[in-house]
Amino acid sequence: MMRLRRSLSRIAAIARKEFRHLRRDRLTGGMVAGVPLMMTVLFGYAINQDIRHLRAGVADLAGTQSARLLVQDAQATQVIDVVTAAPSVQALERMLVAGRISVGIVIPADFERRAAHGDRVRAQLLVDGGDPIVLAAARGLVALPAADRFASAARARAAGAPLFELRAYYNPERRSPVHIVPALCGVILTLTLVLFTAVAIVRERERGNLELLITTPVQTPELMLGKIAPYVLIGYAQVTLILLLGRFVFGVPIQGSLVDLYLGTGIFVAAALTLGLLISTLAQTQFQAFQMAFVTFLPQILLSGFMFPFDGMPAPARWLAEVLPLTHFLRIVRGIILRGATLGELWRDVWPLLLFFSLAITLATLRFRKRLD
């Protein structure tokens, strides 16, 4: 019994010591409550598989009241939100390629004649089928019932005639690898490169190498750029490996230019590396650096559109996602690989990455000081 009491006393002493360490380590203490709160809020509030309010464009070639009412009926389903109008079908297709819309509604010039004759198809839906979940949501519009105000509505309903013909672009077979594999380029780069550079400065301090750096004439910006330079090549090697596997193992076609793809990848790699570098200047130990990298990784995976459709999230979650580099890179890589877009057409997602890189490298440079304290 005495031996058991002594053992329990030693266990209690070690436990008290660990509690004191946790109390002093504010980052770990914050994660105890922060991670459950973040995950619960993200999954309970931001993540939504019931897709609503897809961005849509309309090419109304008929220009009649019935055509406008058809668009209103489609919006009333809350599946789409019409955000723009286009003068032609070609203009709608360019918007799909650039990622400005997910759904295009084409109302032909002979819409009234089709309605009067009870034709089976009166309009077209052009859908970015790269994401099978978005395509499934848009399919719900095909069954939109004809309103009584349309001529021959009763006859059309009796015949089971749909209002829309659906045309799925980019992934008509609804193959998941076509949607997932390109996005893995960004996810894997985010996971590996941020972790690599998150420990860069901390590792130098823990190994005592920082003393040597202090005595050298290397300037802080030179140190920052020198730290990330080797990992740029690693990032390109990882992307090349993923693309080769995707092309020859999973049959993922590459519709766009490889030059544009690698230029866009380079911009994202620089942004991801500077995020890790900023974390490295904030952390005191390698363990803290890993913790902070993990905390930044979770929101990017959940909010970027990799696991869950971006359009299904509430507005505040989408605003937060716009700050994250992975959100913009997923649009770039999917746009180039699946839709054949050019980097110029995807400029609205290129400049946020350039801005993120500029801000992160500036903050990391200001945070780092060539001294041991």
* pLDDT tier at 67, thresholds 50, 70, 90: confident
- For residue 327 the two structure tokens come to 């959100």
Q: Which domains does the chain have, with CATH numbers?
A: 54-169 (3.40.1710.10), 176-367 (no CATH)
Residue 206 pLDDT > 80: no
pLDDT tens-digit map of 142-164: 877 655 445 444 444 444 556 78
pTM for this model (two decimals):
0.82
Contact 103, 115 (CB under 8 A): no
Start-end of H helices in the chain: 2-24, 26-41, 65-76, 89-98, 111-116, 132-139, 153-158, 176-198, 200-207, 209-214, 220-248, 258-282, 286-303, 315-321, 325-339, 347-367
**What pLDDT score does 153 carry?**
47
Most confident of 59-73, 243-257, 358-372: 243-257
Residue 293 pLDDT > 70: yes
Most confident of 194-208, 240-254, 301-315: 240-254
Average pLDDT over residues 364-369: 78
Segment holding 274, helix H or strand E: helix 258-282
Residue 17 pLDDT > 80: no
* pLDDT tier at 46, thresholds 50, 70, 90: low
